[in-house]
Amino acid sequence: MSNFPYSAKYKINSVLPEKGTPREVVINELLEMAKEEDAFWETGKCSGTMYCGDHDHYAYLQQAFGLFAHVNALQRDMCPSATKFEAEIIAMALSLFHGEEVAGTKPAGLVTSGGTGSIAHAMLSYRELAKNERGIEHPKVIKPETAHPAFDKACHLFGIELLRAPVDPVTTQVDLDWVIEHIDKNTVALVGSACNYGYGTIDPISELSDIALDRGIGLHVDGCLGGFILPFGEMLGYDIPPFDFRVEGVTTISADTHKYGYAFKGTSVLLFRDMKLRNSQYFYLTDWSGGKYCSPGMDGSRSAGLLAATWASMVHLGKEGYLKYAKMIFETAKEMIGAVRSHAELRIIGNPTFLFSFTSDEFDIYHINDFMKLKGWRFNGQQYPNALHMAVTRPQTQPGVAAEFASDLTEAIEYAKSKKDIVPMSSAVYGGVAGGMTSEADEFIKMFMAEMMDGFQAIPD
Ligand SMILES: *Cc1c(COP(=O)(O)O)cnc(C)c1O
């Protein structure tokens, strides 16, 4: 598929148009694009990304967003509502993660722009507090290899050395001895995921917690993906070990409201066991000629609309709503995992939850991807080993989707067996982009980014 399917259909704006375009014309164009693109995932055949997929819920969120979209959440004297939204989002999330069990410190939170934002703020907080309290100038963090690249990005940006601990290839569980051996006087925090993006497996949080407590360092739990679904899975009786503030060594938790919180893209929460840790990353400039400046996190101006919509999602759904959807998702995941397990040629990796990953010891699993793609499925591709993952979301819970997955998969296996000796067409790139990742990976990535960002320049004449 071309990255520029619209280049022939609509006018290309390579300069600001001299005269404005009427609103209805613009809106019609947007409607056409949105409708076409929504049709792709509405089938339920697309892994992750459309966590909610409920157009009624979206319309409701749009109403909430629209009322405050133009408001700057930084200017609280003008919008005390934003203070209410933000404080309540944090309080509701804290209660979900058992903030009431915290003793001796005051729990706190931040609403950020997304999972990467929450992880980045956590890493910055650990760096700043360690510098202020322990004089650490060269901070280190240890993550299991399976933890999200946002940790690598944050550590890169903030000058933190990140160590990647190996994981067991069968269980995906982190090598705890390796973690223990690599902690030194500069280590400020460990990381665990509940669950990780690749395999949907949960790291041994209570073991990591024991290590962190023993060594007097932090433990960040990345619940970006699982944060708003695993607690409900636990309430439903699924086997989900505690990963939240009930585990004493857990010092921060990230959880994305823009994933299973069913809010709009652009919000996530970061929760702290100790308010002191959050406050360590505040930025203020009190002697600026433009006035006294302070902001709670890395962002400057933020839309109060996103806070309103996130708050509206949580308040409207309540525990009852989240439980209802979690039940449907866990049941669908179980059915799909069962379909994978019914084939001896396939192997589920580790002990997954609502997201599962599978590979094959008999053929390259990307043959399965090639076939399933033709049937409209979009999985996320993994490597080392090659694997495919499916994050089950609400669109998959529609009637018939899991059954179609099972029957398409059966056909895909015959296809894969017949192609055993040739190289599959698709390969693994985060974000579902198909392409050859070879030694020219650097050049390929640059070209791909250019196509995303500099589209009009790349459009052939
Ligand atoms: C999505 C995700 C992130 C990063 O979140 P963004 O919202 O994409 O910035 C981090 N960790 C996990 C486990 C995720 O699934």
- Is ligand 1 within 6 A of the CB of residue 225? yes
For the segment 101-111, what is each residue's pLDDT rounded down to a tens digit?
A: 999 999 999 99
Query: Which of the pair, 131 or 444, is modelled with greater confidence?
Result: 131
- Is ligand 1 within 6 A of the CB of residue 314? no
Residue 435: the pLDDT is 44
Q: Rounded distance, CA 253 to CA 192, Å?
A: 10
With a CB cutoff of 8 Å and minimum separation 6, the contacts of 28 are none
Token pair 């009624």 is found at 56
Written as one letter, the residue type at 262 is Y
Q: Rounded distance, CA 190 to CA 209, Å?
A: 9
Helices (H) and strands (E) in the chain, counts: 14, 13
- Is ligand 1 within 6 A of the CB of residue 146? no
Q: For residue 225, how far is its CA from the centre of ligand 1 (angstroms)?
A: 6
Radius of gyration of the chain (CA): 23
Q: Is the pLDDT of residue 387 over 90?
A: yes
Q: Is the pLDDT of residue 208 over 50?
A: yes
Question: What is the atom index within ligand 1 of the atom nearest the CA of 148?
Answer: 11
Residue 456: the pLDDT is 60
> Which structural domains are found in the chain, ordered by start?
81-312 (3.40.640.10)
Residue 430: the pLDDT is 46
Q: Is the pLDDT of residue 428 over 70?
A: no
- Is ligand 1 within 6 A of the CB of residue 263? no
Q: Is the pLDDT of residue 55 over 80?
A: yes
- Is ligand 1 within 6 A of the CB of residue 359? no
Residue 461's pLDDT band (boundaries 50, 70, 90)? Answer: very low
Residue 442's pLDDT band (boundaries 50, 70, 90)? Answer: confident
Residue 449's pLDDT band (boundaries 50, 70, 90)? Answer: confident
Output the residue whose Cα is nearest ligand 1's atom 8.
Answer: 115
Mean pLDDT estimate for the chain:
94
- Is ligand 1 within 6 A of the CB of residue 116? yes
Which among 6, 68, 63 has a CA at the least distance from the CA of 37?
A: 6
Residue 459: the pLDDT is 53
Q: Rounded distance, CA 57 to CA 35, Å?
A: 16
SS (H, E, C) 363-413: CCCHHHHHHHHHCCCECEEECCCCEEEEECCHHHHCCCHHHHHHHHHHHHH
Q: Is the pLDDT of residue 285 over 60?
A: yes
For the segment 156-165, what is each residue's pLDDT rounded down to a tens digit?
A: 999 999 999 9
**Which of 51, 145, 225, 269 has most ligand 1 atoms within 8 Å of its beta carbon, as the pocket-test mutant?**
225
Residue 443: the pLDDT is 81
For the segment 69-80, what is each residue's pLDDT rounded down to a tens digit?
A: 999 999 999 999
**What backbone phi and psi angles, to 5 degrees, belong to 191?**
-130, 145
With 0.75 as the threshold, say if the pTM is over it.
yes
Q: For residue 116, how far is its CA from the centre of ligand 1 (angstroms)?
A: 6
Q: Is the pLDDT of residue 437 over 70?
A: no
Mean pLDDT of 83-105: 98
Residue 434: the pLDDT is 45
- Is ligand 1 within 6 A of the CB of residue 148? yes
Structure-token pair, residue 89: 């989002």
